[in-house]
Amino acid sequence: MENTLTVIDIGANKGEFLNHVLNSISNVRVIAAEPNKALFMGPLEDLKTLHYEKLQIEYKAISNESGKGILFGSNLMNGQLASLLPINTESKGWKIQTSFVDFKKSENIVIEKISVQEFILKFELTNIDFLKIDTQGTDLLILREFLAHSNVKVGVVEVSVEASDSRYYSSFSDINSFISILSEFGFLITRITPNNSQVDEFNIFFAKSYVDYKRIFTKLDLRNNPSLSRYSKIQDLYIGLNVGNFHHVKKLFKKLLTGITHPISSTKSVIIKITT
């Protein structure tokens, strides 16, 4: 019998990523974490009812410590922009969103936090086949903890082009910090797809083994996962780029080329694929 894949979804939101994974493969164990119970407990529990043998849900924010916390902007864009970090409303990154996001009406709510180490122990996560992190600004803090305390094979994390002018205060989820963490733990970059229409944030896939990446990516049908591929097929995204988007893509590649250092010592050891 084929081995069961363990998939972790940190920042499950309404379960779009989960729904696709749960319907794509039978031999899977999925553990999701989502702190915004007011908005997402309903749809996530519906998924749990349909896939009760495969899905477990932790209604807490994953962090570097356990206890109470504040979820800032809990209702912005139906909860998609909520973060454990205060929102920098003056960031240029919000220049498109501010036309339909009213920061003045955002709510900050008290939620429960659980540390990565406690989360790993609770669910006995010695090995993780696929790790997805989307936590609006704390992504790399969480990633480092997972890589330090569990055997992660393949993952994807949301990364911004640069740290300056971040959408969230005290956020360090930029490409240079990401490359540093991958180098520290011996991971490769395996795929890059845009995460918004401004092309200044990317979903970056990584793995220790390209063989594992290809196998797991295919089994979970991640090419067609709506939460990960939504912006990779935008019309004219990489054909006939506008000036603003092209600037961000060039900046990303410049940082990749200058930031990749030991233990990734040759161009053959880094596989980068941008989809259109």
Q: Which residue has the tokens 């704390």?
A: 138
CATH fourth-level superfamily of 5-269 = Vaccinia Virus protein VP39 (3.40.50.150)
- CB atoms closer than 10 angstroms to residue 69: 18
Length of the chain: 276
244 pLDDT above the threshold of 50: no
pLDDT at residue number 76 = 81
Rounded to an integer, the average pLDDT of 135-144 is 94
Residues 6+ apart with CB under 8 A from 25: 5, 219, 220, 221
Type of residue found at 89: T
Q: Which of 77-86, 146-155, 201-210, 247-256 has the lowest mean pLDDT?
A: 247-256
Cα torsion for 43, 49, 50, 52, to the nearest 10°?
120
pLDDT at residue number 229 = 78
* Cα–Cα distance, 229 to 222 (Å, whole number): 8
pLDDT at residue number 124 = 97
272 vs 31, higher pLDDT: 31
Rounded to an integer, the average pLDDT of 159-169 is 74
Give the H or E element holding residue 201. Answer: strand 201-207
214 pLDDT above the threshold of 90: yes
pLDDT at residue number 61 = 97
273 pLDDT above the threshold of 80: no
pLDDT band, very low/low/confident/very high, at 34 (cuts 50, 70, 90): very high
pLDDT at residue number 197 = 60
* Per-residue pLDDT tens over the stretch 51-95: 999 999 999 999 999 999 999 988 887 778 889 999 888 777 776
25 pLDDT above the threshold of 60: yes
pLDDT band, very low/low/confident/very high, at 271 (cuts 50, 70, 90): very low
Q: Which of 24-33, 85-94, 225-234 has the lowest mean pLDDT?
A: 225-234
pLDDT band, very low/low/confident/very high, at 125 (cuts 50, 70, 90): very high
Domain borders along the chain are: 5-269
Per-residue 3-state assignment (H helix, E strand, C coil) for 103-167: HHHCCCEEEEEEEHHHHHHHCCCCEEEEEEECCCCCHHHHHHHHHHHCEEEEEEEEEECCCCCCC
127 pLDDT above the threshold of 50: yes
pLDDT at residue number 160 = 79
267 pLDDT above the threshold of 60: no
pLDDT at residue number 245 = 43
pLDDT at residue number 70 = 95
- Answer yes or no: are the C-beta atoms of 241 and 203 closer than 8 Å: no
Work out the burial of residue 236: count CB atoms within 10 Å of its CB; fewer than 13 is exposed, 13-18 middle, 19 or more buried: exposed
pLDDT at residue number 266 = 37
